[in-house]
Amino acid sequence: MKIAVKTIEGGSAGEIELADGVFAVPVRKDILQRCIVWQLSRRQQGTHKTKGRAEVTATAKKMYAQKGTGRARHGNEAAPQFRGGGKAFGPVVRSHASDLPKKVRKLALRTALSAKAAEGKLIVVEAATLAEPKTAQLKTHFGKLGVSSVLVIAGAEVDTNFARAAANIAHVDVLPQQGANVYDILRRDTLVLTKDAVKHLEERLQ
């Protein structure tokens, strides 16, 4: 499939041929969902913790005699039903990460790129660079491109001036080409790729 190439200022810069195997695959929502769950579960810290009955500060002495009081049978005060006792089946420090095969991850990324292309929310630019780090200037450029919520995937390294100018604009993310991922692509309305990023993604996913 062919798509027009623009300059970051909104002008025309020719056309580019996109690989159908990367930008025109059938959109499978189930694959996207699996990949996003995988990404977000790996992001969780898992540092939640409560103390069990073996960890709280309490005497190990039996509260009162087993028989003869007329009351219920109890051991020590660390039991979960008592104030100050341990938490029964509480959260423990653990990893929330799940596994996802590499083939499924690659398919999910191809699907996310194809979904943006199918919706007309994919823009290819010549390069994502600025002469100086001016936020107002970049907002003007985005206005000419007709984007507000956008993920920009640049080349192997993000231009310093471009990154600084974009840092203070809401709903704008900038990533190097090796950082392209399903979650960040889908969380923004428009995807902007540089020509270098297109070449890298096609080599990586074909």
d(CA 131, CA 148): 21
d(CA 121, CA 134): 25
- pLDDT tens by residue, 31-77: 999 999 999 999 999 999 999 999 999 999 999 999 999 999 999 99
d(CA 67, CA 60): 18
Q: Domains of the chain by range and CATH?
A: 2-44+97-205 (3.40.1370.10), 49-92 (no CATH)
- pLDDT tens by residue, 93-137: 999 999 999 999 999 999 999 999 999 999 999 999 999 999 999
Query: Do 158 and 180 form a contact (C-beta atoms < 8 A)?
Result: no
| Paired residues of 153 in beta bridges | 175, 193
Q: Taking the CA of residue 50 as centre, how many other CA atoms within 13 Å lie in the half-sphere pointing to its CB? A: 11
Query: Do 189 and 152 form a contact (C-beta atoms < 8 A)?
Result: no
| pLDDT band of 1, cuts 50, 70, 90 | confident
pLDDT for position 180: 96
| pLDDT band of 78, cuts 50, 70, 90 | very high
* Full strand arrangement of the beta sheet holding 122-125: 12-17, 2-6, 122-125, 190-194, 150-153, 172-175
Q: Write out the two tokens for 118.
A: 């199918």
pLDDT for position 198: 95
Segment 159-184 shows an average pLDDT of 96
Segment 128-151 shows an average pLDDT of 95
Q: Give the chain's end-to-end CA distance (angstroms, integer).
A: 15
